[in-house]
Chain A
Amino acid sequence: MTTETRAFEPVRAVETVAVDVRPAGSTAGTTVPAYEPVDQGVREERRSLSAVRAGEVLSVVGAMAAAAATTWLAFGLILPVSGTLGSVIVGVLLFLLYYGVLCSIDNDGAAVRDRIAAAVIHVIAAVLLLALVFVVTFTIYRGLKALPHQNFYTQDMTKAGPLQPLSVGGILHAVIGTAEQITIALVITIPLGLLCAVFLTVSRGPFPRLVRTIVEAMTALPSIVAGLFIYATLILALGFEKSGFAASLALSVMMLPIIIRAADVVLRIVPGTLQEASFALGAPQWRTVWHVVLPTARSGLMTAIILGTARGIGETSPVLLTAGFTATVNKNPFHGPMVSLPLATFEFVRSPQPAMIARGFGTAAFLMLLVLVLFLTARAVGGRGPGQLSRRQASRVARVSRRDHERLLLRRDGGDLQLMDENRARTAR
């Protein structure tokens, strides 16, 4: 048998021998047709499994081109209308129309509807994602004037009047204010929020249900009303001054229900079997919570806290009512007004001066980067579900398990030794 074996089809050269697959000694059973050798002259072609076909791609491209051309014609030459937004809207509508017509040439109704629906959904997703990306890049782009100045991060606005150039003044006071306010708010909300979430998970009965209902209701509290509450109680009724502490209390009132709710959701999906296993081994409730429930839900809890923090950092309205406004660094949260990053942004862009507006955008871009870092941390920490371990956690668990095993071996051997001693003593007696 002479076969021309090519480098890319080695299998076929081997398989050209017909094989009787019937088990030896059996005459009845499945009849397998003899394997017919493939004609070497004909090369098999791999079938394309891709859903994308050339005709479809062409009709999309064609519809796009036609829509662009018509829009250009209409807006540039014929119709007395203008405007970027309008031309984009008209262009998209024309694209959908042309695409539908193109599809209906060689498809039936259901297929045309399928194609048009797919096109509409793609367009909507593209519009939203582009708009969101644009919001972010616009802020960063406008902030680029202020961000490269080093003094932007190391000075406050004491010496910078509205007409000063960007080389004077910065947002140090707002950075310090945000850091202190969010720290105080977290010191209040993390222990209280996590303990309350644990309470909601471990307890049964009407009281936890009441607490859960109230907490869920308070997630609807508009942030400005939280600010108004602190303003009316702490500042108007109790006579404290506007300060960073008041702002962080307002932030806490706003963040507490958010963190409790997110943590409660995470704690509730900890498998009941794990907790029962712990109880079955004789662990008291607090050990079960501390060693089983909380570690299992750790990544989700971190996510809840970090996302709550991101909400708190970016919130302007409660701070607007309670923190006051200053242009200088104030490190004491209990005395004197204190500015945070979103509030500084808001106050900067109220001024008509271009330098102040650039500072406002710079502050907003800095704030957004801060939120981005927090968010990425949350993703890195909370990307895994409960029970899925990172490599380091897995190796630690393996190490602990090995140690336990050794310990048990040691104890068994030790027990044996003791038993031997007892036996020896008995025989001696």
Chain B
Amino acid sequence: VDRHVRILVIIFTVVFLAGMAGVLVMASAKGPSDRLPWDDWQSGTDLFGHTGIDDMRQVEADAVIPEEFTEVASVGDRVLHMDEDDLKFILEDTTTGYLWRSYAPDTDIVELNSTLRMQYTSPVVIEYYPYQSQTEELSRTTKRESLAYTDVSVNPISGGVSLSISWLRLDISLIMNVSLDDDGLVVTIPDGSVTEGENKLASVSLFPNFASTRDDIVPGYFIIPDGVGALHRFKPSGGMESVQLNARFYGPDRGIILDGSTSLSMRMTMPVFGAVHGTRQHGVLGIIEDGDAYAQLVMAPSGTNGLPYNTIHTRFIQRETFVFPTNLKGDGITAIQDERNVSDMTVRYMLSAPEDSDYIGIARLYRSYLEDRDILGRKASDSMGLRLELLMSDSERGLLGIRDVRMTSFDEASSIISRLTDVGITPDVILKGWNNDGYSGQMPYDLTLNRALGSRRDQNAFLESMRDLGIDLRFYTDPVTTYGASSRISTRTDLARGLYRRTITDMVEGLLYTERNHILPSVSQTLMEEDARFYDDLGVGAAVDQAAKLLFGVYGNDGFNPRGDSINAYTSGLEAFGDSGLYRPNAYAWKTMDAYYDVPIHTSQFTFYDDTVPFLPIVLGGAVDLYSPLVNFFSDPGPQILRLIDYGIQPSFVVTEEASHLLKFTAARTYFSTSVEVWEPVILSVHDWMKPAFEAVSGSALVSRDIPASGIVTNTYENGVAIHINYTDHTYASADGDVLPGAYLIGGAS
């Protein structure tokens, strides 16, 4: 028996060795090298969301001021007239004689009933939650009221008038000041002037009909700051019913909306809107100066309510309804916010000069407004750069606890970067996942470099070499959202709760983490201050995500703090970094920004939009470095990179040393194409392709952007250079020569 056992043992040993050998053979099997994607990426067409051809008709305006109007104030070329009986205003531009009215045109021709007529002429419209005496509750359905049954008194103030308006039946009153100053017309409702009785205000719309037009009688468009910028051109409604666009500036408020998965829409990051009446004839820029955190842009194309009017205005939300969940699943009752959002409501209207009356001129008008207030200065770098994000590590679930997934070590990072500087590319470098547990691990990041990425000496060598190469190095940080695993916060006291009394939580798909929470703004501020000290010590900059992007109200021991109160915490926190790179920041955070990451290059694709225009790049270009979203995830690289040239946005890439499929089970699974082996040649060729365009116009601003034919753009710059861009699939013959399909041509007086 023993001998048989021995033979068995031998057989097993042999088999075991064979098995091990097999395993080794498997392990050494290596994949072929990945090849460069899209060899022909410069081709391809893009007929998707481009800029259309302008209607160049002259506006036939009635320049006669009706006799019921009296002059109220005049500053420079602007004169304010008012009809005291109907509370109508006219802003006169004396250089052109054009009249901007606060009321809809042709209300006599369009047959309106008295309610609608009131609504389309009133300078203010309120919505309120009616008090129901039977149930002793507020109705959840709002009612709208313009100036019916009101008691109005008009008092002169410096530069204009002050209207004191009382809705007698509703027991609601407010004071609205309309005045001129050097920069234009200012319409404001001081917060202290608002009083309410049992009926509670839901919203206040200021100058709801200012700059409105009928059908396409006036050629022109509205400018909507959605994504990169969108236009709605005036069209006849053609009998079709339209709906209006209600879009919240700075995105939806997660402190009020329980379900975060509602929309992937791009956000409106700038509190502005515009109207052009006749291209290069008359234009107005509206800027929301106060109450922007609660403001909503309302744009109604002709056909809304069955009426032929195009209107655009700002609605200031006073109270919102929210879902108060009463079971674990999240079903609940609809409730109304108790306290009003406390803030002044101010909209400034600035008129543009005739030659600047298009979206370019209006963008530049906004830019000069920001420059006057020291929010923007001219400081962007003149040469073409690119943003290179290095994903260093992330973590996935191990059998026991968390396992590091190392993607790029410090040594590998320096080698990748030096290979680029060797060929003359100086990237703006952002390290992601530099900390323990990597990109998603322990947000907010614990302030130690991940030792798996190299020893202390490797780290120092890396930082040293970045300084030697003159690289602008930044560390990625997200001080606002957390997976709750960080030692730097307490999930008991530091998480933000919404008005619905629950933590503000997003469900995320992943094995390691299933939900992501939001941190209290005050805690975020402290985290940023700590981060700033750590970064200063290392001698690196910050690339801050979310802090300038997300804005939400929080429910605390003292009740609900609406989101306007959070802005201050974020901006002070950002100031601690000095100048930093920000991911898609809202305008209130622009003061400390010196690089803008993920500049949107599209809009939210609302069907109201006719054109996509580079409004945002014109506002910011030359003042801050603009970097595109990650080119890695472009699905139409050719046309999309062409768009970057058109808009003057520098490209961005993310790379890792290791193959990207290793990230599959990490929270960074959305980074599905990062391998440097694949992307290095792409970075080089994209850079080489874009560089001539950037160098030709380096440091000079865009003067005009013409659309000679559908899908063709000719950008002319201050220095006389013209760049022709061909998005179509056929060759275009420009004044400077043929522009190949999907390519660009530099021309003009260079």
Q: Do A and B come from one complex?
A: no
